[in-house]
Structure 1
Amino acid sequence: MLKKKFDPIAYKKMVKEYQERDDPLGWFDSIYADANGDHKEVFWADLAPNPYLLAWLETHPLEMENKKAIVIGCGVGDDAEALSAYGYDVTAFDIAPSAISLCKNRYTQTQVTYLVADLFNYPLEWNEAYDIVYECNTIQVLPGKYRK
């Protein structure tokens, strides 16, 4: 099945509508929900781990067990699964419940803990609980006032 064609005008309009409703992050769930359970339908999903993450993992092997990683804005789970494959105990979260559903359905035998959480209101026990904090292509799509 082919991905839906990306319409930048419709996309910008949708994002603006969410921002005008003071829900600047709600559009994330809309995109994942529109995929109807098919991770291949998320237009920005590469369906492969970030090559820079893979290169880093190759050159920085784990030196000890029980290293923990957290993935911010995990999307469809590619980077979280890569970290897990390299031996990390991974927690991955996204603000979009539909994204987390996609991850759980896509990776039914996963060791990754997938959770719905808000980057701006995450559990306090996560502070200083991870050896690696990984974020890619999440923060830069947020409106400027949320990046400060």
Structure 2
Amino acid sequence: MEWCEAKDHAGVRGEASRLLAALIRHSRSPEVVHAVAKADGVRHLTSMATSEHVIMQNEALVALAIASAIDLEFMKDRLWEAELLPLLKKMLEDPEGAVEVKFSALGLICSLANSSAMKEELKSVNMKESLTKLTNHSSSSLASQASSLVAILSDTS
């Protein structure tokens, strides 16, 4: 975690964050997810999701989706503290954003929507509006995924 904050070494900082993402992605272990989250790793992964590099954005979003799928109850407060939902909304609305990043963001949102509490948080940031805009995207796969999520967020049960 110290390396994730190496102010003088952007390369070290980036690789340390990539290592956190890789630990989650490859272990798929609740113990690893808990350890990373307890050590403030969610903040670093969220920051990594804002990288200028698409591959780093995807790695961070996939790791956060996996962590959320493993233990959403444990992750939800940390995701909220890291201000992830406004970031996801911004990513979806970015007209210059890469389609693959939007896909990864949708995968994470899908994982989050499995919790009634997170579903309410998604509604509170008006995520449905951002998703609705994507239903007309030129990528039919992306549009279809967005439509599915709109339906999930519209479900009142």
TM-score (norm 2): 0.28
Greater share of residues in helix: 2
Which of the two has greater strand per residue?
1
Flag the structure with more relative contact order, 1 or 2, with Cα contacts below 8 A and sequence separation at least 6. Answer: 1
TM-score, with length taken from structure 1:
0.29
